[in-house]
Amino acid sequence: MQPPAQLPECEWHFPCSVEAQDAAAGTGEVVGLGADLAPSTLVAAYRCGIFPMPVGNRLAWWSPDPRGVLPLEELRVSRSLRRSCQDYLVRVDTAFDEVVAACADPSRPGAWISKQVRAAYRRLFELGFAHSIETYTPDGRLAGGLYGVAVGGLFAGESMFHNCRDASKVALVALVERLLAGGGRLLDIQWVTPHLASLGAVEVSRRRYHELLGEALAVPQLVLGR
């Protein structure tokens, strides 16, 4: 796996400090509107603890408070999920476009991944910042997966999907294993859902998230392996 490419300086200014994000968000979670989805913009945003998600026709930049994270050492793998891990073959970065397309399925509730978003993360993938974890059935069918962005020791999960039972959970288990082995420090899941809470996800304050983010960005770029 090649290291990420060097990027030009971001053209936009993001509110990077906790205080600036508190002021920008007020009682909400959006800290900015506009800008673009250029690779340098996206990576700069993630380094500030911010991620993009459209609101209507406008590009919004989010910093939830509380923030969802999954402590790597606290992943909960049930007996049934451990059995499911034996049912799938796991691969890394072999079907990025297919994973993002499945996550972008417009029939899913709250679908927000537009063609522009897909193209932007495809570019990040080409530059070595975005990655996918895929699960396959024994006969070679894509069963589930997830994708996200890696910067330093941060992996910012963007979305996941499954076509078969436990397939996305198996991808998450595989991701955590690779983060632990490859130098990962922080797995950002944006918001905690009951599904993710059952796997060990917790909520932290914006201030605590920034502390964890600073520790993650201080380490070398993580390696997910294959």
Domain tally for the chain?
1
Range of the domain at 180: 68-204
Kind of pairing, strands 89-92 and 67-69?
A: unpaired
Written as one letter, the residue type at 61 is: W
Q: Is 65 helix (H, G, I), strand (E, B) or coil?
A: coil
Cα 190 from Cα 111, distance rounded (Å): 16
Q: How many CA atoms lie within 13 A of 124 on its CB side?
A: 28
**Does 221 fall in a domain?**
no
**Does 59 fall in a domain?**
no
Look up residue 2 and give its DSSP letter.
P
**Would you say 110 and 148 are in contact if contact means Cβ atoms under 8 Å apart?**
no
**Does 56 fall in a domain?**
no
- Write out pLDDT tens, residues 112-124: 899 999 999 999 9
By CB atoms closer than 10 A (0-12, 13-18, 19+), residue 147 is buried
The CATH number that applies at residue 199 is 3.40.630.70
- Give mean pLDDT, residues 171-180: 97
pLDDT given for residue 2 in this prediction: 61
- Write out pLDDT tens, residues 32-86: 999 999 999 999 999 999 999 998 889 999 999 999 999 999 999 999 999 999 9
**Does 165 fall in a domain?**
yes
- Write out pLDDT tens, residues 93-107: 999 999 999 999 988
**Does 10 fall in a domain?**
no
**Does 14 fall in a domain?**
no
Cα 132 from Cα 224, distance rounded (Å): 10
